[in-house]
Amino acid sequence: MKRYLLVLVLASITSTATAQLHLWGIIDFEARKGGKDSGLEKNGLPNEYPQLTLQQMHLFLDADISSAISFTAKLANNPAKALDFKSLELQLAYVTFSRIIGDALSVSLGRIMTPFGTFSKRQLPSENPLIGQPLFFSYAQNVSPLTGYINPQIAYPSGNQYDSRLTTIYTCGYYTGVSASGYFLNNVLEYDVALMNAPLSSATGDYNIDKGLAFHGRAAFHPAIWGTIGISYATGSYMQSSPNSQEYEQEYTSLSNFDQSTYGVDLLLSYLYFEINAEYIMNRFDAPYILYTPANQYDNGYGNGLSRTLDSYEYLIDAKFEAPFFPGLYLALRYNILTFNNIIDPRAGYSSYYNTITVPWDRNVVRSAIGIGYKPDRSVLIKLGYERTAVDTQPAPDLTVWGCAVVVTFQ
């Protein structure tokens, strides 16, 4: 952490002669209480007990080096790491060359935000009207970058390679790469494409974990000031070489055969006091199945060297209504569904009988939330919220969250 702070300080000192600096930040203090089955990979809380947390802290540095060149950096905690402020990260650090070809081309280099979808751009606590995050950012699924598909019917010992489960998009959505963006037809058409070290689900966006680079991109159409329609696509190899996967790399040809491919459609409608953000995401993991056996050995769980296609489908609607009779007051709603396709029973590698049986590779999930917010000042936001995460399993886990947040923007 001290190293990152020093970087920001030195950058500000050495740039004062040639750059106009802007230092600002956001702090998010919250009180939360979760249901008895709470978990960081389920609803973002470590347990069911009341929590007083500095949920998020963001420190920004913006520098205009010239009229066409700028630098941006952000130091923040990573909410995926158990609210641990000892692990502050330099999440953003990039240089932007603007208007290389007028509005048609700008280029950014460094650790940048994925252009996929829209929630990454409105994830800051000052922009997110609710106390939680969508499922694609926060709900861990039965797939691992080290062993592929994780069979939920098997009890794995703690501390093995199955501990690492993936979300569709890694929390925060920052990766190292290069992006190109621009507008056409008086901002009616917009594009943003990037080559990154890693695909959307990867927690190792600072370096390439396999042979090829990953692609992230989005194109948007703005038919009117009140609406935007966007389409997104991302693909890249998500598997990491590990002692458990190396003996199967030859059988599977290459880990680069195992890609994450993600397709998205987003819609923004904003008129007077109403705003609706909707997203649809179809995600696919091509996954091997490396099985943990009671003899503390790892075996090819399919027996035929073939991977399984793990598909998921997510629907998100965020709605916000600002009270016209009370400036600064709003009501927000979220409805979020994550569903999974069926695959051939994992036991098919051992008996042809199971080739006719299909099972879901994970449990369907529905997350709903409601929140009330008020801005007593332009730089202060107070949020009260309730969130319920329902998992399609019996008995149903209690993953409710009650919370209150005070978000302050300072500069």
pLDDT tens figures, 106-117: 999 999 999 999
> Residue ranges of the chain with pLDDT lower than 70?
1-19, 79-87, 153-163, 205-211, 241-257, 290-307, 345-356
Whether residue 297 is contained in a domain is answered as yes
Whether residue 250 is contained in a domain is answered as yes
| Number of domains, the chain | 1
pLDDT at 347: 59
pLDDT at 148: 80
CATH code of the domain containing 380? 2.40.160
Residue 304, domain extent: 105-410
Whether residue 178 is contained in a domain is answered as yes
Whether residue 385 is contained in a domain is answered as yes
pTM assigned to the model:
0.86
Whether residue 351 is contained in a domain is answered as yes
pLDDT at 160: 47
pLDDT at 90: 86
Whether residue 66 is contained in a domain is answered as no
pLDDT at 411: 86
Whether residue 291 is contained in a domain is answered as yes
pLDDT at 244: 54
pLDDT at 306: 53
pLDDT at 241: 64
Whether residue 57 is contained in a domain is answered as no
Q: Are 45 and 83 in contact (CB under 8 A)?
A: no
